[in-house]
């Protein structure tokens, strides 16, 4: 095997190992909902979108259009999860095709301070990611309580998740407001991507090929390191 061919095979193996399953991020925006300004629609308790499933067990999902003067606004439709009668609500996120990574989300209150019923907003949102193979990662988010409706200040906060939020089977956003009977989670721009899974069959084939070539070369070199002659 020539040095050039060996280098090419090694580069190929590294490329396959690093590049296998490279994923493209998807942002779940809910922007395909064409709603009149300042209106909402209830969409049951489950929503399949761009290969992902969002659901609120025993709860309800709504899409809020932009334009409510008394609510946080980012100029686009957003998702609201609520559960009536309890002081917490779960919004679950899963992929329809396999494990996934959570990259970032935008979260906001349901109403501006002083508007609507303040009890209708989750105070804190505990985010739990279930890892493939067991275990979990967790993060507690406290909202900033800042929003003034369309324009003005930024009402939504963007929360970025680090590399520990990879290869997940499910993510649960657990919104809590003690003393409330109608807490809500208002969420948008959920950025996710398919988990990077090495393709062992391809990678192993390349590595086995390299090992085979190495063994073949050693055979030809003979036990004393001198090239052995064909037929001798
Ligand atoms: Ca949106
Ligand atoms: Ca806010
Ligand atoms: Ca605003």
Q: How far is the CA of 36 from the centre of ligand 3 (A)?
A: 19
Q: Kindly state whether residues 4 and 63 are assigned to the same domain.
A: no
CA dihedral sign, ordered 137, 138, 144, 149: positive
Domain assignment present for residue 73? The answer is yes
pTM attached to this predicted model = 0.78
101-125 mean pLDDT = 87
Distance CA 31, CA 177 (A): 28
Please give the structure tokens belonging to residue 131: 């890892």
* Domain identity same for 208 and 116: no
- 184 shares its domain with 78: yes
Higher pLDDT, 13 or 93: 93
223 is a domain residue: no
Residues 128 and 166 reside in one and the same domain:
yes
Q: How far is the CA of 165 from the centre of ligand 2 (A)?
A: 23
How many distinct structural domains can be found in the chain?
2
Report the share of the chain in percent with pLDDT over 70. 75
pLDDT at residue 7 tops 60: no
**How many angstroms is it from 151 CA to the middle of ligand 3?**
4
Residue 216's region, left for phi above 0, alpha for psi from -120 to 50, else beta, is alpha
Q: Give pLDDT tens digits for 176-211.
A: 888 877 788 999 999 999 998 766 666 566 666 666
Of residues 7 and 174, more confidently modeled: 174
Q: For residue 167, what is the domain's CATH number?
A: 2.60.120.1350
pLDDT for 207 equals 64
Q: What is the mean pLDDT of the chain?
A: 83
Q: Is the pLDDT of residue 13 over 60?
A: no
Instruction: Judge whether residue 232 has pLDDT over 70.
Output: no
Residue 43 lies in a domain: yes
Q: How far, in Å, from the CA of 42 to the mean position of ligand 2? A: 23
What's the pLDDT at 205? Answer: 64
* Domain span including residue 119: 24-194
Q: Which residue has the higher pLDDT, 189 or 224?
A: 189
């Amino acid at each position: 095997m020539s040095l050039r061919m060996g280098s090419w095979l090694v580069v190929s193996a590294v490329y396959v190992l690093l590049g296998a399953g490279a994923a493209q991020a998807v942002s779940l925006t809910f922007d395909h909902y064409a709603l009149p300004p300042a209106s909402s629609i209830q969409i049951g308790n489950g929503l399949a979108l761009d290969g992902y499933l969002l659901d609120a067990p025993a709860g309800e999902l709504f899409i809020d259009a932009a334009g409510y003067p008394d609510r946080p606004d980012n100029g686009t439709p957003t998702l609201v999860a609520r559960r009536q009668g309890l002081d917490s609500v779960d919004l679950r996120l899963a992929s329809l095709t396999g494990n996934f990574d959570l990259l970032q989300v935008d979260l906001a209150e349901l109403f501006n301070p002083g508007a609507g019923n303040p009890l209708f907003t989750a105070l804190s949102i505990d985010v739990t990611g279930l890892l493939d193979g067991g275990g979990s990662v967790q993060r507690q988010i406290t909202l900033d309580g800042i929003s003034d409706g369309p324009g003005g200040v930024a009402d939504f906060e963007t929360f970025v998740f680090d590399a520990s939020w990879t290869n997940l089977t499910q993510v649960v956003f657990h919104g809590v407001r003690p003393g409330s009977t109608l807490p809500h989670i208002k969420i948008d721009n959920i950025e996710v991507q398919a988990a990077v899974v090495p393709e062992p069959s391809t990678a192993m084939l390349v590595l086995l090929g390299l090992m085979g070539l190495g063994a073949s070369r050693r055979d030809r070199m003979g036990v004393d390191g001198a090239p052995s002659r064909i037929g001798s």
